[in-house]
Amino acid sequence: QLLSKAYAVLSDAEQRAVYDEQGTVDEEGEVLGGERDWLEYWRLLFKKITTKDIEDFEKNYKNSEEELADIKAAYVDSEGDMDRIMDSLLCVDYTDEPRIREVIEKAIESGEVPSYKAFVKESKQKKMARKRRAEREAKEAEATKEELGLGDEDDLKALIQSRNQDRKKKMDDFLAQMEAKYGNSAKKGAKKTAGKKGK
């Protein structure tokens, strides 16, 4: 919603000029007041990402020069901490770890990266703990998916829209309560101030 408001103001020449000059926007104005299906609007600007797009990216990324560079950079940044390396890389799970290790070992042998104790002396217990954690997270993700009934992208879209409507209703209710509580007293205060000026 905030991004949408910013875009609405910045893309309207008159509102932009007012904002540049005064640093304020007209919250009640036509530019911000209209109802719009923002999901549909942003979809016109940005291509929809499908599961196939993600799978294609993963296929092209794995074993690419880009991934090799990312693995070496993650290794150096984390000073050989395999937990941090695995957390920071794209498109990997614990089954990729032997492959990632092999890339790093070759880079150490060739002198491309330094040899860190955290990597070469990592304990078996730490490796097993990382594997168990990854397996547990995968199960939790699958259980959450089933619990939410997310069978496909249309289900996910429907869930997002439903949550957005709930948030909007809660915000409208909150604003109505604030207006009922403070709206009248603010107006009375304004009248008193005006009266004092008149005297």
Q: What is the secondary structure of 19-53 as a DSSP string?
A: HHHHS---TTSHHHHS---HHHHHHHHSPPP-HHH
**Higher confidence at residue 169 or residue 116?**
116
pLDDT bracket for residue 156 (50, 70, 90)? low
Give mean pLDDT, residues 108-126: 95
pLDDT at 27: 61
Scored b (16 or more CB within 10 A) or e, 138-162 reads: eeeeeeeeeeeeeeeeeeeeeeeee
Q: What is the pLDDT of residues 5-64, one digit of tens each?
A: 777 777 778 777 877 887 776 665 555 555 667 777 777 788 888 888 989 999 999 999
pLDDT at 196: 47
pLDDT at 116: 96
pLDDT at 101: 95
**What is the residue whose two structure tokens read 């879209």?**
157
What percent of the chain has pLDDT above 90?
38
The average confidence (pLDDT) of the chain is 80
Which three-class secondary structure state does DSSP give residue 91?
coil
Give mean pLDDT, residues 134-142: 87
**Higher confidence at residue 95 or residue 27?**
95
How far does the chain reach from its first CA to its final CA, in angstroms?
45
pLDDT at 159: 63
Query: d(Cα 55, Cα 77) in Å, to the nearest integer?
Result: 27
